[in-house]
Structure 1
Amino acid sequence: MSFALPNGLPPGRFQSSGPAQAWVSDEFPHDIERLWPRLLSEQAACGLVPLMCWPGARGTPLGLGQVEAVRLEERLASDFAEYRRRRLSSWTDPTPAPVPEGVEPWPHDPGPPFEQWPGLAPPVPTTSADPTPEEAASSLLARLIETGQFGLDECRLMLVATRRGSDALASIGWSAQAPISLLCALLRSWEDRFGARLVALCGSGLHMAVARPPRKADHANRLALEHVLSTANNIVDDPPTPFPEYAAGLPGRTSWSFWWD
């Protein structure tokens, strides 16, 4: 199994899992900041999505038909109704939850300001002041490298043979405990509405660049609910961030991170 590769790649090898095709570098590419923008610019022509990924992240590929079968608005409306049913008592009771001795009580979470699913957050129009999605993705990768966050230096460069970055999770069968078909449907929508781009998969963590984050508080509330309904543990439970606090941090925020236990 092979496909045409761009020039100038570090040493690596092809991997296959059923019909899924990918090329993976042997080591972390130390010139990745130079290589990454070029790979992004050639993505459409080559049909290869660049992704930084820990070894061992691949599992059983998910057919894109399962992603396309997700009716996103209907699914999120149903999920929110169930989530609200389970959480409402804690949202309306400000009594601090019991915590171990010596641990500060968790702040009270009043929950989202919605009784019913409010609909997806509106798309953010492109302006001349915004970076392109490719520029945002390159900037995020540079920040992750500079700060040494999330074990990025353990990643390998992966080139996934798929049409868009949001489908790469399905193509490689990402092994995290995440609802992959729903997550891919969300990522597709975030790409279109916010210029979001998947940059790195570090263990069970996912890191995205965002070229056009929401600018209005009411739009951020709706987006925050989408993040919650992704089921990511760092949004929901680890630690439990009060919904208003999480939503207030989204306007202007150019990277999103999620992880699953």
Structure 2
Amino acid sequence: MISEPPLPAELRALFAAGADTGRTLSVPLPPGRPVRSEEEPSERPAFWLGDGPAPAGLWARLRAEHARSGLWPLLLDSLDDEDADYRPWGNGEVLPGEMSSPGDHDPDALLARWWVDHTADDAEDQLTPAERAAVTAPFGRTWPGPAVAPLGGKDPDRIADGLAEQLVAGHPSVRIGLVAADRGADAVTVAGWTGPTNYTGDTAEVSAVLRSWEDRFGARVVGVGFATLVLAVAAPPTTRESAMAVAAEHFAFCPDNIWQGEAPHTLAAYADRLVDDHSWTFWWD
């Protein structure tokens, strides 16, 4: 019987003491390095980063070994293609020590609170109260509650592997990253990603919602940029009615998707684009 090769030392360092025992990885990795936070003194790296563009097919092979390796792969992109520091990943512009645990947060309560925050009047807002309410019509300022999990759906792993290939082919600057996380939803928190910092300084809140989407929609975290997030979705909404409920969650989670996304800037228009869409992309200004 051929035994699987153990994790190399630079990958074992990603785990807490004793948590790397028995972990294996048979997938050859390109040249890379562990990355620590530039602001937090720590012997434990936040993640491992490939030095160059992610090879085709690598994300899927690493995802398939997650159960044995404990390492969730991410396709990481920088703030700017011309950025020599490859921010925030290459220079360690991350804060894992400031994050709580995703399990400490109720995703339904978070979405409800964020909805109230984003639909409230703003003294600096250029919209009238009526115009602001129209953005989230027919719900207005009333939180409609979480979307119902759809029945059925495709294989989450196959959908995620396909999206990863699309990202590698369409964005040649992306690099492979590895994070010591039990599930993809937690990877952004473990890595100390601060992309949504203008809305929350604790990425564990984001991960709590991502956990819920993993469970309800077969979502998988695939790509992460400076302030962007790309998910594969095995069971997206299939009707406009169900898409409206999901759109409400997206607005609570990332209002810039509607406020600064594709016109017209309304929940209804955004929902139309969610029907049967197997990838969800978020951008925080």
Letter in 1 for 2:145: G
Greater alpha carbon shift after TM alignment, 50-59 vs 250-259: 50-59
Match of 2:34 in 1: 14
Alpha-carbon offset, residue 153 of structure 1: 1.9
Report the Cα distance in structure 2 between the residues aligned to 1:154 and 1:232, rounded to whole angstroms.
27
Instruction: Work out the percentage of aligned pairs sharing the same amino acid.
Output: 32
Q: Contact conserved, 1:182 with 1:230, CA < 8 A, in 2? A: no
Structure 1 segment 180-259 matched on structure 2, within 5 A: 180-238=203-261, 241-259=265-283
Report the Cα distance in structure 2 between the residues aligned to 1:135 and 1:242, rounded to whole angstroms.
32
Q: Contact conserved, 2:59 with 2:75, CA < 8 A, in 1? A: no
SS at match of 1:154: coil
Alpha-carbon offset, residue 93 of structure 1: 4.4
Alpha-carbon offset, residue 203 of structure 1: 2.7
SS at match of 1:173: coil
Alpha-carbon offset, residue 6 of structure 1: 3.5
Query: In the superposition, relative to structure 1, how do residues 2 and 110 fare at CA in structure 2: closer, same or farther (>3 Å)?
Result: closer
SS at match of 2:235: coil
Match of 1:85 in 2: 120
Cα-to-partner distance string for 1:25-48 (whole Å, 9 max, x where unaligned): 11113x322x22221111122111
Matched, 1:176 2:200: no
Cα-Cα RMSD: 2.6
Alpha-carbon offset, residue 122 of structure 1: 1.1
Query: In the superposition, relative to structure 1, how do residues 66 and 8 fare at CA in structure 2: closer, same or farther (>3 Å)?
Result: closer
Q: How many residues align?
A: 239
Report the Cα distance in structure 1 between the residues aligned to 2:135 and 2:256, rounded to whole angstroms.
18
Alpha-carbon offset, residue 62 of structure 1: 5.0
- Residue 144 of structure 2: which of 118, 142, 153 is its match? 118
> Runs of 5+ in structure 1 lacking a partner?
95-107
Q: Contact conserved, 1:52 with 1:199, CA < 8 A, in 2? A: yes
Match of 1:145 in 2: 168
> Runs of 5+ in structure 2 lacking a partner?
1-9, 13-23, 78-85
SS at match of 1:249: helix
Match of 1:39 in 2: 62
Q: Contact conserved, 2:146 with 2:245, CA < 8 A, in 1? A: yes
SS at match of 2:208: helix
Report the Cα distance in structure 1 between the residues aligned to 2:36 and 2:26, rounded to whole angstroms.
18
Task: Give the TM-score normalised by the residue count of structure 2.
Answer: 0.74
Query: In the superposition, relative to structure 1, how do residues 63 and 211 fare at CA in structure 2: closer, same or farther (>3 Å)?
Result: farther
Letter in 2 for 1:79: W
Report the Cα distance in structure 1 between the residues aligned to 2:196 and 2:284, rounded to whole angstroms.
6
SS at match of 2:96: coil
- Residue 60 of structure 1: which of 95, 102, 108 is its match? 95
SS at match of 1:32: coil
Bigger proportion of residues as helix = 1
Report the Cα distance in structure 2 between the residues aligned to 1:200 and 1:153, rounded to whole angstroms.
13
Alpha-carbon offset, residue 10 of structure 1: 1.1
Alpha-carbon offset, residue 15 of structure 1: 2.7
Cα-to-partner distance string for 1:152-171 (whole Å, 9 max, x where unaligned): 32221011111011111111
Greater alpha carbon shift after TM alignment, 112-121 vs 159-168: 112-121
Alpha-carbon offset, residue 259 of structure 1: 0.9
Match of 1:102 in 2: none
Alpha-carbon offset, residue 141 of structure 1: 2.0
Query: In the superposition, relative to structure 1, how do residues 12 and 83 fare at CA in structure 2: closer, same or farther (>3 Å)?
Result: closer
Q: Contact conserved, 1:51 with 1:200, CA < 8 A, in 2? A: yes
Greater alpha carbon shift after TM alignment, 36-45 vs 71-80: 71-80
Q: Contact conserved, 1:20 with 1:161, CA < 8 A, in 2? A: no
Alpha-carbon offset, residue 212 of structure 1: 0.8
Task: Give the TM-score normalised by the residue count of structure 1.
Answer: 0.80
Higher relative CO (Cα under 8 Å, sequence separation at least 6) belongs to 1
